[in-house]
Chain A
């Protein structure tokens, strides 16, 4: 047990260090913890003139409303579906890309292709939405021009519920697969040369070395990234959907985040919107904790 006296001494000794943390601490208290206190409005009938504290309590009414609304199930389903599609089609993309790049021996080509595939990561989803015009427009978009040369009807991708989710999945792969490859490239660079040399002596070809050496060696990275991705399954891409969707595709494209935004800020139903958000936050939090305990078991390293 430390005496009060020695505690004081410690405080004096470390006073500059504590002073340094202070601004960051104030920041998280104001902008991260204070909003957590604000969650109470999901149990209230928030009225602007009464404010957070004086608005009347309504218990779980907002949550009851939530579970009774068909819109919520639609939004929840969209979120899961979009995420699952992105995982199925999008998760392998950076791994394959990294393996292909890793096999390139020409330094200039390698650097060039890396720079090119990182490029889309650096633009905003709004810009992507703009680029899509030139690509997918039914009038003069390059994709529809190709469709037209085959004598088919042009497709209005951005406004068609049939294709909108595919647009989300493909644009996500186009934008982030290159960036996602960085981590696997780093893992591949760490694979010992001796393993490859031994495999060459065994008379394997390049393809066999990828399957029997490269992939098993980066498997821990793949598993950790997969768990991380699964734990973020409720994040279907707020910025992306927000930039690309329109009222014609709400039925397939509206996700929890965009719903929270519209109900909250456009319709100003603060209490209900916060309840939807809280529902998401709690599930997301539990998923992250589960994913972390799995990661701990698989690799020595844990996410936190």
Chain B
């Protein structure tokens, strides 16, 4: 190994320093909100680094409070978990079913079908016409409005197709000779070979469902089926200086939510998805790359 030059050494030190700063800046907003959700305001004079004293002020009361009784938080979390799990399963099923035939170069009229799907990526009917279609199907104020209108993402379908195309044809050929139908080949041979693609698209879809709120804003008026994101939005709006949306009967009726309660709700809204992604890192990195090479 060649000895590092003076300039290189400085570069390395500066680089580590910069990246550490970037990392700290990225985490800072999360750390603040976690601190606010765990420490009583009585600790305001105590430094966070005063470990002897600060732990006296740590409390889980805010978390207990927001989950108390038949809290709207529990219901909203339930809706979010439901749409995330069921929605993602439907997404993956539809994505695989659509992508598989389109990955077959021999399929007659393949380009025509590709075009039909592809065109929806560059042009769309817009917000109101889509809303009217969803409404005419009677989906307004139904949980299914959060799942069915986004049942397939054409971009992810094309990523899946690219992945299917990379699977050697011979594997399927032999099964075909044994008399397997296309459907059985997909489910018994192709999908088990595509677990990494399913994992990466699965996390894309799941994150989308967990974090989505525009569909709920448009299609769900009934607050009993609000997902977590929408509930959080309402809580943020009612305690903020936002005179526009002054909705009666605050979600937490007894007390107007102090900043600590809001902090706890923010943590509850983001923690589930944040605690999952580091373990799936290699999959989603792969998914981004397949999508970039050929989208």
Residues of A participating in the B interface, judged by any CB pair closer than 8 Å: 10, 14, 16-21, 23-25, 27-28, 30-39, 41, 52, 97, 100-101, 103-104, 109, 112-120, 122-127, 129-135, 140, 142, 159, 174, 178, 182-183, 186, 200, 205-207, 221, 238-239, 242-243, 246-247, 257, 260-261, 264-265, 270, 273-274, 277-278, 280-281, 284-285, 288-289, 301, 303-304
Query: What CA separation (Å) do A144 and B8 show in the bound complex?
Result: 38
Residue contact B113 to A21, C-beta cutoff 8 Å: yes
Q: Which of B50-58, B67-75, B191-199, B210-218 contacts A (4 or more CB under 8 A)?
A: B210-218
How would residues 233 to 271 of chain B score, 1 for a CB under 8 Å from any chain A CB and 0 otherwise?
A: 100100011111000000000000001001101100110
Residue contact B126 to A274, C-beta cutoff 8 Å: yes
Q: Can you list 20 pairs linking A and B with CB atoms under 8 Å apart? A: A14-B101, A16-B181, A30-B137, A31-B148, A31-B151, A33-B120, A36-B125, A38-B128, A104-B15, A104-B16, A115-B281, A119-B274, A122-B270, A126-B230, A129-B233, A131-B32, A238-B214, A277-B126, A281-B123, A284-B122
User: With an 8 A cutoff between CB atoms, is B116 at the interface?
Assistant: yes
Q: Given the complex, which residues of B lie within 8 Å of A273, measured CB to CB? A: 127-128
Please report whether the interface of chain A is mostly helix, strand, loop or mixed according to DSSP: helix
Residue contact A118 to B94, C-beta cutoff 8 Å: no
Residue contact B32 to A142, C-beta cutoff 8 Å: yes
Query: What CA separation (Å) do A16 and B101 show in the bound complex?
Result: 9
Report the nearest B residue to A228, measured CB to CB. Answer: B295
Q: Given the complex, which residues of A lie within 8 Å of B128, measured CB to CB? A: 38, 41, 260, 264-265, 270, 273-274, 277
User: With an 8 A cutoff between CB atoms, is B285 at the interface?
Assistant: yes
Report the nearest B residue to A105, measured CB to CB. Answer: B12
Min Cβ gap A244→B in Å is 10
Task: Report if A183-B289 is in contact (Cβ < 8 Å); known contacts: A38-B125, A119-B30, A264-B128.
Answer: yes
Query: What CA separation (Å) do A235 and B16 show in the bound complex?
Result: 35
User: With an 8 A cutoff between CB atoms, is B60 at the interface?
Assistant: no
Task: Report if A20-B126 is in contact (Cβ < 8 Å); known contacts: A122-B207, A134-B29.
Answer: no
Min Cβ gap A261→B in Å is 6
Min Cβ gap B44→A in Å is 9
Q: Given the complex, which residues of A lie within 8 Å of B124, measured CB to CB? A: 32, 35-36, 281
Query: What CA separation (Å) do A14 and B105 show in the bound complex?
Result: 12
Min Cβ gap B279→A in Å is 10
Residue contact B23 to A116, C-beta cutoff 8 Å: yes
Min Cβ gap B226→A in Å is 12
Q: Given the complex, which residues of A lie within 8 Å of B240, measured CB to CB? A: 133, 246
Residue contact B127 to A116, C-beta cutoff 8 Å: no
Report the nearest A residue to B4, measured CB to CB. Answer: A206
Task: Report if A24-B274 is in contact (Cβ < 8 Å); known contacts: A17-B104, A117-B23, A200-B2.
Answer: no
Query: What CA separation (Å) do A104 and B18 show in the bound complex?
Result: 11
Interface centre among B22, B274, B293 (most CB of A within 10 A): B22
Q: Given the complex, which residues of B lie within 8 Å of A120, measured CB to CB? A: 26
User: With an 8 A cutoff between CB atoms, is B28 at the interface?
Assistant: yes
Query: What CA separation (Å) do A113 and B278 show in the bound complex?
Result: 12
Min Cβ gap A273→B in Å is 5
Report the nearest A residue to B25, measured CB to CB. Answer: A174
Min Cβ gap A248→B in Å is 8
Min Cβ gap B64→A in Å is 20
The answer, among B16, B32, B98, B288, for a CB contact under 8 Å with A109, is B16
Q: Given the complex, which residues of B lie within 8 Å of A97, measured CB to CB? A: 22
Task: Report if A117-B22 is in contact (Cβ < 8 Å); known contacts: A246-B244, A264-B127, A304-B295.
Answer: yes
User: With an 8 A cutoff between CB atoms, is B173 at the interface?
Assistant: no
Report the nearest A residue to B44, measured CB to CB. Answer: A140
Report the nearest A residue to B207, measured CB to CB. Answer: A122
Query: What CA separation (Å) do A107 and B253 show in the bound complex?
Result: 50
Q: Given the complex, which residues of A lie within 8 Å of B242, measured CB to CB? A: 246-247
Residue contact B126 to A35, C-beta cutoff 8 Å: yes
Report the nearest B residue to A2, measured CB to CB. Answer: B108
How would residues 68 to 105 of chain B score, 1 for a CB under 8 Å from any chain A CB and 0 otherwise?
A: 00000000000000000000000000100110111010
Report the nearest A residue to B8, measured CB to CB. Answer: A206
Residue contact B214 to A14, C-beta cutoff 8 Å: no
Residue contact B12 to A135, C-beta cutoff 8 Å: no
Query: What CA separation (Å) do A211 and B131 show in the bound complex?
Result: 50
Q: Given the complex, which residues of B lie within 8 Å of A207, measured CB to CB? A: 7, 11
Residue contact B26 to A127, C-beta cutoff 8 Å: no
Residue contact A126 to B149, C-beta cutoff 8 Å: no
User: With an 8 A cutoff between CB atoms, is B19 at the interface?
Assistant: yes
Task: Report if A28-B27 is in contact (Cβ < 8 Å); known contacts: A20-B182, A100-B19, A104-B19.
Answer: no
Min Cβ gap B218→A in Å is 6
The answer, among A39, A113, A186, for a CB contact under 8 Å with B125, is A39
Residue contact A21 to B102, C-beta cutoff 8 Å: yes
Interface centre among B27, B117, B127 (most CB of A within 10 A): B127
